[in-house]
Amino acid sequence: MRGEDPDGPDEELRHANRFGGTGGDVVQARDVQGGVHFHGYVPAFAVTPRQLPGGVRGFVNRHAELARLDDIAADHREPSVSAVAVITGTAGVGKTSLALHWAHGARQRFSAGELYVNLRGYDPGPPATPEQVLDRFLRDLGVPTAAIPAGLEDRASLYRSILADRRMLIVLDNAASASQVRPLLPGTPGSLVLVTSRSRLSGLVAREGAYRLGVGMLLEADAVALLRAVTTGYRGEDQPHELRELAGLCARLPLALRIAAERAASRPLMMLGELIADLRDESALWNALSAEDDEETDAVRTVFAWSYRALPEQEARLFRFLGVHPGNDFSLPAAAAVVGITPAQARQQLDVLVGAHLMEQSAPGRYRFHDLLRAYAVDQLHHLESGDARIEALRRVLGWYLHTADAAQLVLSPFDGYPLDQRVPADVAPLAFDGYEPAYRWYQTESVNLVAATRIAAAAGLHSTAWRLSAVLRGIYMHQNAFDDWVVTARVGVDAAAQAGDRPGEAEALESLGKAYFQSLRLYEAEEAHRAALVIRREIGDRFGEAVSVNALGLLGLRHRRLDEAESRFEQSTAIFRELGDRRWVALLQANLAEAHCELAEYEAAVSGLGVALGVFRDLGDRSCEGNALFLLSWARRELGRTGDARASIDEALTIASEEENPVWQAHWLVELAKVQRTAGQPGEALNSYQRAASIQRKLGDRSREAAALDGTGEAYQELGRFAEAANFHRQAAATHRQFGDRWQLAVALHHLAMALDRTDASEQARAHREEALVLLEAFDDPKAVSLARRVSEGLRTP
């Protein structure tokens, strides 16, 4: 089935032949008499994250604060919660530097590793939400994408479960409020959380028992020591009284002191008194312009202005225009796009900004602003550049993101991408990717900026770019199950296209939103979005889009087991695509129809349609759809009693999964292999296939499909005459299907469980399960459901 992708490959599983796990994970047929044990989803702590950013050069003193953090880590004795230290202080006072300096020195105490996040509490854009942070932390801790729950409470619960009994250091930088931090706290002792904030976060102190550590301005001697540490080796011996005066003009704030010291170091032949006079003049000007600010803020901004005015014109221009970039963290090519220069030119200019401490290089080819410096850049941009110049810079960088994302989707999703119809802006050179890995790494690195770019495009009135970004990102998100970002960008796209009166764009964004809801199992919201897209496409005469939307509604019918509706939708969509001459979509619809035929027990019809579709997929090199067609062909042939042909089809599908290193396909198709093996009278071999499928699904986090494999495991055990063990697996499967509200699969599992219990002298339990199954089956009227209901009823009549 295609058109929606219910799974995306988990990156950790894509490499190094991870399909079967270790040899100990795979149960050989000869070993079945010894028993097989599966468990529910338990997150694997697959990695030890080491995420601390680098510290700062020339860190001085703060001995009392460092000792206090040592005491907190050593003396915390509360048995029910982790230690939380809240480092508070004014902007630029060195809270992050202190936290990271201590963390680097203490990291060996935390065997489970370190997590770090900038919560962006004081950025110009929206702060990071707890949901976003937990999504990233869970991925970083080895949880597969599909296993990450949708809701905040469930994510926080899973996060706490993973960290229970582990020693983890967690740094939450730039927090805005206690509510932003609270869901990110572990629930057991052993870990330590460092929080930095300009706010006092009294709620954390009162409710969570956090330790507050206030950080003030440096003592004069320490401020002078910091100036000397940065300038040593670049200047002669400056006079102590002048260094003290310079420290005072910087309000003894580390951020301002570093910038001023770098200015002095870069002018070794200029007397320090002259530099101080320049800074004093700048301070007087700033005070005249901004008398409402406090002394510390005045000092920081004064030093910013003093250092900024000393920049060469091109570097100053780049600095202020970088204020339009969607995030504080950016790449070299993105910076080049902002002002329309080459990456080589941008690197030279960024080196100057890094040298002046107006920018920080965070990784090779990546840079970031301190939030205060970004705010200053935006301020200078609005003072010195016209509105037209600002919007042109924004168009360039957003165009760079749009077209680079397009290049990524063409690699990551070659058959499911949106065909971008917008030209690359002048002076912009988007990236190109020569394979999956670089495209995927770029997406991972830029994921936060991509969401921000979509939002900023809409806020700036660049509606065409906003909805096209959401459409292009769909091709990436659908294979990564990045549901939070997908829903956010799709909603922005819908609103942006609607505001622009762009009906085709609105339908495209609604399609993206519907697919996001479908893959995240929010099926009723998915149906609403797809129906809205269909209405628009019919109104504007978009036949291709109409057929796509009708297919999406057919998939929803299949998911809800409204099989006649699904079949009708697929036939409507097929007719339109035949009219348009789109052979791939016709073939895709034939496969979707074949699945509906299989569910309706119309197996000959399924086989007939799949033959032509399979040939088209092979001609196009669409390995995903080819494998899916072979899987469906195996299903139909098996039910027709053509076991040998079925085995050949499913073996070919699994070969594709292996060659493409795609565990999602392999796990799903292994269950069909197991069914073929059982049909051939090989329950031991089937048990092995089911176990392999369940093991992979557990790693992928697809609990629904894991439950299907567990239910099949129970069937194999019944055929081996081991009914008590079979009942255990059926119970696990039923529990999961009940949790997900899957009435059909729950009824099937309860029927199987009742059959197993009949053979273990548990007839009363079996009756209760059959009665519940009959109630569930009342919602379905297709041939399979009617047949199953009849068998369940017969079981109730059997004494």
Which residues, including other chains, have CB under 8 Å from residue 255's CB and lie 6 or more apart?
91, 92, 93, 94, 300, 370, 372
Q: Which is nearest to 546 in space by CA: 591, 577, 587, 584?
A: 577
* CA max distance for the chain: 104
Structure letter (DSSP) for residue 365:
T
Which pLDDT value is given to residue 42? 43
Which pLDDT value is given to residue 247? 85
Element of type H or E holding 128: none
Q: Are 334 and 401 in contact (CB under 8 A)?
A: yes
Measure the CA–CA gap between 541 and 410, rounded to whole angstroms. Answer: 27
Q: What angle do CA 136, 413, 530 make, to 5 degrees?
A: 85
Exposed, middle or buried: residue 51 (CB in 10 Å: 0-12, 13-18, 19+)? middle
User: Which residues of the chain have a pLDDT value below 50?
Assistant: 1-2, 6-44, 285-292
Pairing relationship of beta strands 192-197 and 211-214 according to DSSP bridges:
unpaired
Q: Which is nearest to 213 in space by CA: 231, 200, 226, 203?
A: 200
Measure the CA–CA gap between 312 and 699, rounded to whole angstroms. Answer: 54
Output the DSSP codes for 218-279. Answer: PPHHHHHHHHHHHHBTTB----HHHHHHHHHHTTT-HHHHHHHHHHHHT-TTS-HHHHHHHH
